[in-house]
Amino acid sequence: MTDEPLCTMLSNELGGLFSCSPHRDYVRIRTPFWYPDGGVIDVYATKRDGRFIVTDLGESLGWLKQQSVSAKRTDKQNRLLQDVCLTLGVELFKGQLVMKSAAPKEFAHSVIKLGQAAVRVSDLWFTTRTRSVESVTDEVADYLQEQSIAADRAVKVPGRSGRSWSVDFQTHTPEQSAFVFVLTTGSRAGARRVTEHVVAGWHDLVPLRTSAQRTRFVSLFDDTQDVWAEDDFKLAESLSDIARWSRPDEFSAMLREAA
């Protein structure tokens, strides 16, 4: 097989919006579609056993995985992924989006459909990573479950002032119990207010750190957005241990090790 037949077929059907180049055993097709971060979506085509095969070589799901610290897709993502494949007639094979067609006239249609499927898959990022406190704590909850760390969510804890604080998580491991506040905001202007609120909570709950059943305090900063100043970390560090959501392994190790 040479590159020219597939590229010529594509050019005749779709014009100049798609361009071709060799890529190992495939022809790389640069599409006019984009990932949410501005990256161009490429698909790959070949002809095998008389059938035209178009695939993304796993790039769409690879892109989606890079956007989350979680090692696995959530149940919600898997359901939506299956819906995308069913709607567009795309197969999911070993992490790749694949379309197969027997007739030459179906080839260009398959390229467009696969490009659309890649867009739809990448859009799953918006369903799971909206920048609200609720969505970030959802991610943390999923991660704790993956790590087999038992956790209660939105725990009401009375402070020494009589005020009841809603702590995002209380985790339980054989080594210790820990309270976790998740600090997240979309703006630099709001970052200090979030930090001061959490520090006020730690200050009110500080007797729990010195009680017979000592509880670790962890301030988990959502540092996937560059909104925090060094003073924010120092302020929270005065009363708690600091964890960063960009380093989930360090966070889970902190919850397991004795304080």
What is the value of pTM for the model shown? 0.53
**Residues spanned by CATH 3.40.1350.10 within the chain?**
133-256
**Residues spanned by CATH 3.30.1460 within the chain?**
3-127
> In the 8-state DSSP scheme, what is residue 39?
P
Type of residue at 159: G
Percent of the chain with pLDDT over 70: 89
Residue 121: predicted pLDDT: 92
pLDDT surpassing 70 at residue 258: no
Cβ atoms of residues 124 and 68 within 8 Å: no
pLDDT tens by residue, 105-156: 788 889 999 999 999 998 887 655 444 455 788 889 999 999 999 999 999 9
Residues 112-147 as b or e (16 or more Cβ within 10 Å = b): bbbbbbbbbbbebbeebbeeeeeebbbbbbbbbeeb
Q: Positive or negative CA dihedral for 47, 51, 57, 60? A: positive
pLDDT tens by residue, 198-226: 999 999 999 888 765 678 999 999 998 88
CA distances from 211 to 59, 152, 234 (A): 51, 20, 25
Q: Phi and psi (nearest 5°) for 33? A: -90, 155
Residue 131: predicted pLDDT: 43
Per the prediction, the chain carries an average pLDDT of 86
CA distances from 236 to 29, 181, 196 (A): 50, 10, 8
Dist CA 249 CA 56 (whole Å): 30
Residue 154: predicted pLDDT: 92
Listed as own residue / partner, the contacts of 81-89 with beta carbons closer than 8 Å and 24 or more positions apart are: 81/121, 81/124, 84/117, 84/120, 84/121, 84/124, 85/117, 87/120, 88/113, 88/116, 88/117, 88/120, 89/113
Q: If one looks up domain 3-127 in CATH, what number appears?
A: 3.30.1460
**Domain 133-256 of CATH type 3.40.1120.10:** no
